[in-house]
Amino acid sequence: MHEVSLNEIGRTLNLTADDMEPLEQAHVRFPVRITPGLLARIDPSDPLDPIRRQFIPSPEELIRADHESADPLNETKSSPVSGLIHKYPGRVLILTSCRCPVHCRFCFRKTNLPRSLTGLSGSELDRIADYIRNDCSIHEAIFSGGDPLMCSDPELGALVELMSTIPHIETVRVHTRVPVVWPERITDGLVRILTSGKPLWVVLHINHSLELDDSSRDAIRRLADTGIPLLNQAVLLRGVNDDAAVLADLSRTLIRNRVHPYYIHFLDPVLGTAHFAVSLAKARRLIRILREILPGFAVPRLVRDLPGKHSKTEHLKEC
Ligand code: SF4
């Protein structure tokens, strides 16, 4: 995959030296990363373009609010072995890769992502397998990261096969942005690996319908055609999708592409993201409107992750 440089971003979006300065500062803290395909979908004449806002840092990212933290979900406390998070009963998260094809400026794992370019080592994988084997209450393995589809085919194949050898693992879930931001990665070989083990679900992360183009729609279709269930979890982001018409359009686009709009998450308060925050009152208002204009299955569940809770906290009932 071609790595897009800051200069290329500057040229494509017609950024001035003044625009580049905060971008370079933000890049030092959390490297700017965007795929060529996604960069090409940004309208350079629109400073409020929803793709630009998600992937190109704004000066506000350099501001640190008091309530923000480097690890807002306290995940390090829920990691009994390196590369595994066991927060919720019955399921574990395996941090298969520290790499992502894009860096979302609001990512709650942003402080961990650039720490390594390699995936799990053999000994880490052994310890993860032992941990899961020794706890029969774990029925689901969630491949997360970074982005699990940044693993090579052999690495991913080994993980899928490993899960097949553990009898109490019933399902595997893959959390990924790759089909949308780097659709060329969804090859026949990759699809064969994903369908070779335990029943597997793919959870996409799409926040705005403009993220999809013909090639990403095609990648999603190829996954859906194999029978892999597809869900979407979006993040509610000020200036990106905090608008009922935008959210309704996203839901309809997902349904048309056979993706269930499953969750809409509150922003996790990681460092430098206050400019993306949406109030609970506004979020509830948006969901109320969606309920009026969409069929029930197309309305995502409004949730937030809170440190110390044994499941996601849902805000639907109060809406
Ligand atoms: S793709 Fe996911 S893990 Fe990667 S930067 Fe975006 S939100 Fe974070």
pTM: 0.94
SS3 for 195-227 is: CCCCCEEEEECCCCHHHCCHHHHHHHHHHHHCC
Query: Tokens at residue 66, please?
Result: 């008091």
Q: What is the mean pLDDT of residues 84-104?
A: 93
Tell me, in angstroms, the distance from the centre of ligand 1 to residue 292's CA: 31
Question: What CA–CA distance (Å, rounded) separates 30 from 27?
Answer: 5
Half-sphere exposure of 266 (CA within 13 A, CB side): 22
Pocket of ligand 1 (CB under 6 A): 100, 102-104, 107, 109, 145-147, 177, 205
Atom of ligand 1 nearest to the CA of 146: 3
Strands of the 260-265 sheet, one edge to the other: 84-85, 91-95, 140-144, 171-176, 200-204, 230-235, 260-265, 301-304, 313-314
Residue 77's pLDDT band, with cuts at 50, 70 and 90, is confident
Over range 287-313, report the average pLDDT. 88
Q: One-letter amino acid identity for 123?
A: S
The best mutation among 109, 178, 235 to test binding of ligand 1, ranked by most ligand atoms within 8 Å of the C-beta, falls on: 109
Query: Which of 161, 32, 155 lies closest to 103, judged by CA?
Result: 32
Q: Are 261 and 234 in contact (CB under 8 A)?
A: yes
pLDDT averaged over the chain?
93
Average pLDDT, stretch 146-150? Answer: 93
* Amino acid 89: pLDDT: 94
Q: What is the pLDDT of residues 4-58, one digit of tens each?
A: 999 999 999 999 999 999 999 999 999 999 999 999 999 999 999 999 999 999 9
In this predicted structure, what is the pLDDT of residue 118?
64
User: Prior bond to 146 cis, omega within 30?
Assistant: yes
Confidence of residue 114 (pLDDT cuts 50, 70, 90): very low
Distance, first Cα to last Cα, the chain: 43
Rounded Cα distance between 278 and 237, Å, is 6
Q: Which of 35, 149, 177 to mutate to test the pocket of ligand 1 (most atoms within 8 A of CB)?
A: 177
The full set of domains in the chain, from first to last, is: 6-62 (no CATH), 75-314 (3.20.20.70)
Cα–Cα distance measured from residue 7 to residue 45, given in angstroms and rounded to the nearest whole number: 18
